[in-house]
Amino acid sequence: MTVLNKSGSYDLNYCAQCGSDKIERKEVDGRQRAVCLSCGRVFYRNPIPSVVGISIINDKILLVKRGVEPDIGSWCLPGGFMELGETTEEAVKRELFEETGVKVKPVEIITIDTTIGGFYGDVVVIAYGIELESKNFIPGDDALDVQYFLYDNLPRLTFHSHRLIVDRAFEKSNAKNK
């Protein structure tokens, strides 16, 4: 299987190692990859790791209303992409604070989902169960609103992966409460 970026090509015009513009697509280790013909460097591409926080209280799950594209105004799980130099737990804390204004503690991994070829390309979403320090929500720059929703009354979610994660989170939560 060949996995390219969404446009079906590589965005590289110049080699990051030697500056040459002789970049070509070649098969390396069974996949099409960008290779510099001058210095031989192979440009491997990898999925982007991201995190979301799951807070389920009284059968309601915490969601944020998106203030940024794609799909401004739709709802999704709070979270985002990891930054360099941080752990997954630190990423959850940072993203949740940025979007909801509340400090959280990641307590367990609920599930991990992989999206292939979505809006952001290939993304790994690590979903953490979290505990909140308070419920004094202050929506951040990227968020328009923060609310809890009943499972039976969920709004449409921006990302299909988030819907799958929400389903699994409620399954787990229900199993735990039985």
Stretch that binds Zn ion, among 33-41, 89-97, 129-137, 153-161 (CB under 5 A): 33-41
**Amino acid letter, 122:** D
The verdict on 35 binding Zn ion (CB under 5 A) reads no
The verdict on 20 binding Zn ion (CB under 5 A) reads yes
Alpha helix locations (H) across the chain?
88-100, 160-177
Q: What tokens does 7 get?
A: 């446009």
The verdict on 39 binding Zn ion (CB under 5 A) reads yes
DSSP 73: T
Give the shortest CB-176-to-Zn ion separation in angstroms: 53
Our CB check for Zn ion shows the closer of 39 and 116 to be: 39
- Residues 38, 88, 147, 173: which binds Zn ion (CB under 5 A)? 38
Q: State which of positions 76-135 bind Zn ion (CB under 5 A).
A: none
Our CB check for Zn ion shows the closer of 16 and 107 to be: 16
- Cα-Cα-Cα-Cα dihedral of 35, 41, 44, 48, to 10°? -120
Give the shortest CB-13-to-Zn ion separation in angstroms: 12
Q: Which of 131, 133, 134, 124 is nearest to 165 (CA)?
A: 124
The verdict on 23 binding Zn ion (CB under 5 A) reads no
Cα 2 from Cα 61, distance rounded (Å):
37
- Cα-Cα-Cα-Cα dihedral of 114, 141, 71, 131, to 10°? 40
Chain positions contacting Zn ion, by CB under 5 A: 15, 17-18, 20, 36, 38-39, 41
